[in-house]
Each structure stands twice: as C-alpha cells, then as structure tokens.
Structure 1
Amino acid sequence: MSVTDNTYKSEATERIPAPVAPPARRAPAPPAQQSPAPPVPPALWNRNFRLFFVARGVAVFGEGMVPVAFAAGLLGAGHPGSTVGYALGGWTAAFALFVLFGGVLADRFTARRMMILADLLRLPGAAVLAVSFTLGGPPLWAVYALSVLSGVGAALFQPGVASTIPRIAPDVQRANAVLRVVEALMTMAGPAAAGLLVAVWSAGAAFAVNGVTFAVSAVCFLLMRLAPIPSDTARRDSFLAELAGGWREFRSRSWLWGVISIWTVYGLTVAGPMVPLTASLVTEEHGSAAYGVLMAVNGAGSAVGGLLAIRLRPRRPLAAGAVALLGLPVNLVLLGTGAPVGALGAGQFVGGAAFAFWLVMWSTSVQTHVPQEALNRMHAYDVAGSLLMMGVGRTLSGPVAAAVGTEEVLLTGAGIAVLVVAALLVVRPVRTLPRA
C-alpha cells in the first residue's frame, strides 16, 4: 500500500480529518546488484592460431606441388613414368613406417619442437632437388633418398598437428573446419602453381617454392608461444614403454579403435582404389584436362564441407559425420556407370564436401576426447592404420581392375562404402559418442 493510502481516509467514513503527517523520507535505494557479465570466450583468431593457420596453409600448398614437380622433372629428364611412382611411394612408405615414432617423440619433446625440426629436416632436400632439376636432373638414387627423407620429416611433423589445435583454439571444431577450408583451397592451388612454374621455368622452380614453404612453416612455429602442459616436464618412460602406453590408450577407447578398424576396410576397398582408378578412367574417357577440372571441383566441395562444419554442431559428431559419408558412394556410382562429365562434377563436389565434413567431426572428436598427454600417439596410430591400408588399396587397384574391370571395382566400392556407414552407425560407442 502506498503512503497516500495510509495517510488519507475516505470522507465517507471519517468525521474528523486526520492530521497530515509529513511525508516519510525514503532511504536511498541500494545500488542494483548487477549480475556479473558472462565471460567473453577467447577469440579463435588469436596470435597462435593465426601463425598455425599460415603454417598449415603454406605446408599443404607446398605438398600439393610435389607430385607435379616429380612428374615433370623425372619425365622431362627421360626417365619412365614408373620412377614417379617409386619416388612418391618412397615418401609414403617412410611416412607410414615412422609416424608412430613421430607420435612418441612429439609427446617426449613437445609437438612444436618436432614440427620445427621436421620442417628444417625437409628444407635442405627440397633445396637440393631445386638446384639439381634446374641444372638438368639428379640421379635417381638421390631423388629416391631425398623423397624418403621428406617422408620421415612428414612423419615427425604430422602427429603434432592434432595435439596443437586444442592448445591454441578455444573452439576446436571451428578451428578444424577453418583449417579444412584452407587446406582444400591450397590443395587446388598447389598443383596449379606447380604446373605454371614448370611451364614457365622448370621443375626446379617448383621444388624451390616447396622449400620456401618449409621455411615459412618453421618460422611460424618458432614464433608461437604455448603454455607448458604437465607432460612437457614430467619424467618420461623409455621410448618403447611410451609406444606401448600409446597402444594401451588406443585400445581402451572402443569408439576410437572401432572407427579405425572400420576405416582400414574402407581404405583398402574404397578410398585407396578410388584415386588411381578415377584418374585412369576419367583421363581415358574425357582427357587429362577434364580430370584436372574434376579434382578442382572436388577441392571446392571440400571447402564447402569445411564451411558446413563451422555452422553445424551435431550432438553426436561421429554419427553425423557417418551419415555425411553417404555422399561418397554417389560419386563412385556415377563413375562406375559412365555418367557424363557434368554429372561427374556434381559427384566430385558432393564427395569432397562429405569427406571434409567427416574429417572435421572425426578430428574434433579425437582432439576433445583423448587426453592431451596421449594425443600425439593416438593421432599417430590413427594415421598409420589409415595410410597403410590406403597404400595397399592403391597398389592392388590396378591388378584387380585389370582382372574384373575398373567400373566393377568402383561400383563394388560404392556398395562397401554404404556398408561402412552402416557399420559406423551400428557400433554403439561410435554412434552415441557425444560432443565433448
């Protein structure tokens, strides 16, 4: 009730007017208690992430130049086409053999130091190839040896990528998606730039630019400032003990080894054969220019898949990523049924977007559910298992396609790809893994 209601009564009920009391002084109201403002999350584009973004962009750009540079340099020097395969195969074999050791070393000496060392290890090899191909062509043994050395450097570098992102990015999924977009764009730009350099100058110029990318990457990592984590200063076990410990960590997570077990089948029967068979089929039927355009369209689809992963945040990331993988068999069916180039382009776009979205969901799940001190080794086991089976699939794709037909292998791969998605969704730890 207000002061006026308390002071005055109605004239109908009061004969004697009541004295008017002076208005009561109201005590000053205490200042309103304001709830503390919610903390502002740190921005994604902080200094460390900007440096990491540049390092990854230039690294993928440089890696995309290497196959074109090897093909132009070796074929231009009069060597048979098989030498290109041997050079690239040596890189892949070295990477697959040493990546597990790279994971342990990254845990022991920090990922940042190992990535700087890996860049510095690969830089002289690129410089030697640049000079040699400019002057006429190095001996094959030197090409193979330097390619193997580059593969070892990549094996030392790669495990640290997974563990660095959670340390520099407040939003791990968004960071992975942004990096996936730039990697897709650089995957398209690298081969195109290498082709231009080879046409204007020589294969040596492409290797020279590749060496510059290693230098830029090393400088970016050198400028990064990361807070230490307990494992950086903890007393370490022996090398073999830590390798075994990584395996125990790997086995203890059913969703992790479940996905990789299913993915080994996928790499052997789908992802591995798809690249060489697509290249041979499209080149034979539509020409090498059409194949180049289709690969560019695939890269554009990968960029779109990364952009979608920035916006979409499913509660069950692995389940959502598995459903997205249904875009890949669409691409394989179109290839296997002899669709026109326009339809093949649509299939490549859908396939690129689907695969990129899956990769972001998978990377984010691993980086947010695995402890930081074991993340380098976990990522190494992931990469080793996937890459080995993809390598075997690529090797066997030619003989199998020659025996039963390229179209038949692609259509069979489409069916297996659907079964892989079904398997990912059937395995309960994979299907129900929540966002961290």
Structure 2
Amino acid sequence: MPAAGAPPGRSALWSHDFRLFFTARTVAMFGDGMVPVALTAGLLGAGRPASSVGYALGAWMGPLAAFVLFGGVLADRFTPRRMMVIADALRLVGASVLAVSFLVVDGGPPLWEVYALSALSGVGAALFQPGVASTVPRIATDVQRANAVLGVSEALMGMAGPAFAGVVAGFWGAGAVFAANAATFGVSGVCLFLLKLRGGSASDVPRGGFFAELAGGWREFKARSWLWGVITIWTVYGLTVLGPATPLTAVLVTEGHGAGTYGALMAVNGAGSVAGGLLALRLRPARPLAAGAFALLGVSVALLSLGLDLPVLALGVGQFAVGAAFAFWLVMWSTTVQTHVPPEALNRLHAYDVAGSLLMLAAGRALAGPVAEAVGAEKVLLVGAGLNVVAVAVLLAVPAIGRLRRI
C-alpha cells in the first residue's frame, strides 16, 4: 500500500472503468480531429466557396456555446454517463448522414444540410462536455494523473486525427472521412454505456425545477472566489490573447513561410502538449493554480517570436513552449476544479466555464482580423505577449487563486 499522502500507483489508475473512459475519449478526440479536414475537403471539392467551411464550423460552435449550460443541468439531473451516451448517438447520426451524402449525392449535399448537421453535432458536444469533468474523479483514484494521461492522449490524437483524415480524403473523399468519424462516436458510445461510475445516482440528490437548478449552479459558481476569479480573468484573456493568437499565427506563418511550415509548427505545438502532459504526470505542486499560471509564461515566448518575426527555429521553440504551457495549465485547472467542487454541482460549474471560454475565444478570433488590419498583426501579438504576463501576474497575486492548495 502507498504511504499516507502518496499518489496511487500506475496500476491503480488503469482500472476497468478508467480504461473504458480513456478509450472513449481517445477515439472521440481522434474523430474530432477529422472534422475540419473533412468539411474543408468536402465543401471545396464540391465547388462551394471557402466561406462555407467557416460557416459550417461556426454552426457547430454556436449550439455548443448556447446549450452547454443546459447540458450541465441535464448531466446533474440524469447522470453524465447517460448524457454522454445520448450525445455520442446524436453525433453518430449526424456524421453518418454526412458520410452518405458526400458519398452518393452528385456534387455533395446542399449547404443547409451541412449546416444543420453541424449544428446537431454542436448540440451533441454541448450535452457531452459538462459530464467529462465529473466523470474523472468518479473513475480515478488519482485525479491529476488521470487528467494528465487524458491530456497526453488528446494531444496525440489532435495530431493523428487530421493526418489520418488528410490521407483518407485524398484517396476516398470526404464521405469516407465522415464514415470513419461516425465509427469513432459509435466506439465511444459503447465504451461509455459499459462504464460504471462510483457514487450515488442523480436521483439521490433533491432536485428543483430546471431553471432553479441552473440558478443554483450560478450560486455555487459565485460562492467560490478562486473559481469565478480565474474564469473572469480567462474571459478577458481569451478575448485579448488567446482568441487573436490562433488566426494571426496561421496568417503570419503561412504568408511568411508557407503552408507546409505552418503545418510543421502545429505538429511541434502538439509535441509540446504531449511534453506538458507528461510533466503534469510527474510534478505535484502544493499550489496547482499558481504552478499552472507560472507555466503560462510560455505563451509569451510564442507570441514574441511571431511578433518580432524571428526565424523558423525560434517559432518552433515558441510553439513547443505554448503547447507545453497550455497542457500543464489545463491539467492543474481541471484537477483543482474536480477536487474542490462538490460532485452534485460539478457538471453545471464546468458548463459555466466552457460557455464563457468559448464565447470570448470566438469574439477574440472574430475581432483579430479587423484590429490587425488597423494596427498590424505583429503589434497585436506583441501586445498580447505583454497582456499574457499581466494575466499571469494577476493569477499569482490574487490570494484566493495563487494560494489555493491541493486537495
């Protein structure tokens, strides 16, 4: 037996239920990575305008942001496992219909169908996402190690999914990619159906009306200063730093060094994410949010290398640093939320987190282009590097955040 206070061993993590959940998440993340490639290949190959790809991806993100709060309430009422299985079923149907349409319809499906099925997939994601947070502590005895392992897997699948989709689309077309995507949701749904969660069922907790529970989640959210403090900072951070960084990085690298270099840098970013997850497997800081905030200084390395137009090697260092920084922060943040928030409110509180982050990221990406045209993309990134340091300093300076200790 491990000594008192020591983390459980490796074998204790890989229980039957954790293996099922790990398989479900790994396969689903692999499938999610295929979708942008499939939509791009399918729509452009059918002669649709380039803007249709953006609209299709927006049709997915809009319902996710709009319904994720309701997904949190439903997960608390009907168990996260049940909602995740339903979500996978919805996404399996949507991907299957798109697969058939791209394979058999001459010229591809009409745009309204693509947008509608993308929106259906977004609703599925909204039902699925809140349950992830509360499932981990109910199947793993070492929450941080579980989050780190899942984070490493997510990073690897984020690289493998698009690469696989590109090969399949090149040989057999977008319909085959969507067929493979549908299969991943089927595997995920079966694994989650077989999952058994520790703890009481949803019926064990007294429930009010739907909107009363939504309001109850907001009260739980406001009652924890460290929680709403981080998310408040993160909304500003997403609008001013993270949101603009993604599209401006793509534009500057592609225009300055070519699309091949951009793809290679994204692979380096994924490798950094793997390294950050592996680091989170080893380090167990007493103040996880402080350690995660300090790691976010790696974001400034990436933004400075782009804003100063440094050579490709320096850009690679920056992308590795930002990948590792975010992976480490996400493990520290997820573990803190999952161990400090009571299980009966965890799904709803996680939903508030997801909703706020998505809305501000989307707004930041939308505003990046006009602001960059007005003042220059390099200046936007350099200002973002400075604001990133300010955000880290604020996270460390707020006592409720920087001094919050591990459970």
Q: Tell me the TM-score normalized by structure 1.
A: 0.90
Q: Percent identity?
A: 70
Please state whether the residue corresponding to 2:176 is helix, strand or coil.
helix
User: 1:379 deviation in Å?
Assistant: 0.3
What is the match of residue 212 of structure 1?
183
Give the counterpart letter for 1:115 in structure 2: M
2:39 aligned with 1:44: no
- Mapped partners of 1:212, 1:236: distance in 2: 36
Distance 1:72-1:258 versus aligned 2 partners, 3 A rule: same
Contact 2:214 2:348 in 1 (8 A): yes
Contact 2:205 2:344 in 1 (8 A): no
2:36 aligned to 67, 72, 85, which one?
67
What is the match of residue 80 of structure 2?
111
2:55 aligned with 1:86: yes
What is the match of residue 270 of structure 1?
241
1:357 aligned to 323, 328, 332, which one?
328
Please state whether the residue corresponding to 2:284 is helix, strand or coil.
coil
Q: Tell me the TM-score normalized by structure 2.
A: 0.97
Please state whether the residue corresponding to 1:43 is helix, strand or coil.
helix
User: What are the superposed Cα offsets for residues 240-264 of structure 1, whole Å, 9 maximum, x if unpaired?
Assistant: 0000000000000000000000000
2:231 aligned with 1:296: no
2:229 aligned with 1:258: yes
> Structure 2: which 5+ residue stretches go unaligned?
none
User: 1:131 deviation in Å?
Assistant: 1.1
2:56 aligned with 1:56: no
What is the match of residue 373 of structure 1?
344
Give the counterpart letter for 1:73 in structure 2: G
User: 1:146 deviation in Å?
Assistant: 0.4
User: 1:294 deviation in Å?
Assistant: 0.5
2:306 aligned to 332, 335, 345, which one?
335
- Mapped partners of 1:128, 1:146: distance in 2: 8
Please state whether the residue corresponding to 1:107 is helix, strand or coil.
helix
Give the counterpart letter for 1:351 in structure 2: V
Give the counterpart letter for 2:323 in structure 1: G
What is the match of residue 280 of structure 2?
309
User: 1:68 deviation in Å?
Assistant: 0.7
What is the match of residue 12 of structure 1?
none
2:171 aligned with 1:200: yes
Contact 1:107 1:232 in 2 (8 A): no
- Mapped partners of 1:283, 1:331: distance in 2: 16
- Mapped partners of 2:379, 2:40: distance in 1: 29
User: What are the superposed Cα offsets for residues 206-264 of structure 1, whole Å, 9 maximum, x if unpaired?
Assistant: 11111001000000001112234264433311000000000000000000000000000
Give the counterpart letter for 2:53 in structure 1: V
What is the match of residue 98 of structure 1?
67
- Mapped partners of 1:201, 1:433: distance in 2: 52
User: 1:49 deviation in Å?
Assistant: 0.4
- Mapped partners of 1:253, 1:91: distance in 2: 31
Please state whether the residue corresponding to 1:313 is helix, strand or coil.
coil
User: 1:426 deviation in Å?
Assistant: 1.1
What is the match of residue 395 of structure 1?
366
Give the counterpart letter for 1:335 in structure 2: L
Give the counterpart letter for 1:67 in structure 2: P
Q: CA RMSD in A?
A: 1.4
1:8-47 equivalent positions in 2, closer than 5 A: 41=8, 43-47=12-16
Contact 2:272 2:321 in 1 (8 A): yes
2:91 aligned to 117, 122, 128, which one?
122
1:320 aligned to 291, 297, 311, which one?
291
Contact 1:309 1:360 in 2 (8 A): yes
- Mapped partners of 1:149, 1:283: distance in 2: 32
What is the match of residue 9 of structure 1?
none
2:315 aligned with 1:344: yes
Q: Which has the higher helix share?
A: 2
What is the match of residue 236 of structure 1?
207
User: 1:132 deviation in Å?
Assistant: 1.1
User: 1:384 deviation in Å?
Assistant: 0.5
> Structure 1: which 5+ residue stretches go unaligned?
1-35
- Mapped partners of 2:360, 2:57: distance in 1: 16
User: 1:37 deviation in Å?
Assistant: 9.4
2:129 aligned with 1:158: yes
Give the counterpart letter for 1:311 in structure 2: R
What is the match of residue 133 of structure 1?
102
Please state whether the residue corresponding to 1:386 is helix, strand or coil.
helix
Distance 1:37-1:211 versus aligned 2 partners, 3 A rule: closer
- Mapped partners of 1:37, 1:51: distance in 2: 25
Contact 1:103 1:160 in 2 (8 A): yes
User: What are the superposed Cα offsets for residues 36-76 of structure 1, whole Å, 9 maximum, x if unpaired?
Assistant: 99799570000000011011101111111101111111111
- Mapped partners of 2:219, 2:207: distance in 1: 16
* Larger Cα-atom Rg: 1
| Worse overlay, 162-171 or 278-287 | 278-287
User: What are the superposed Cα offsets for residues 147-169 of structure 1, whole Å, 9 maximum, x if unpaired?
Assistant: 01100000000000000000000
- Mapped partners of 2:201, 2:38: distance in 1: 43
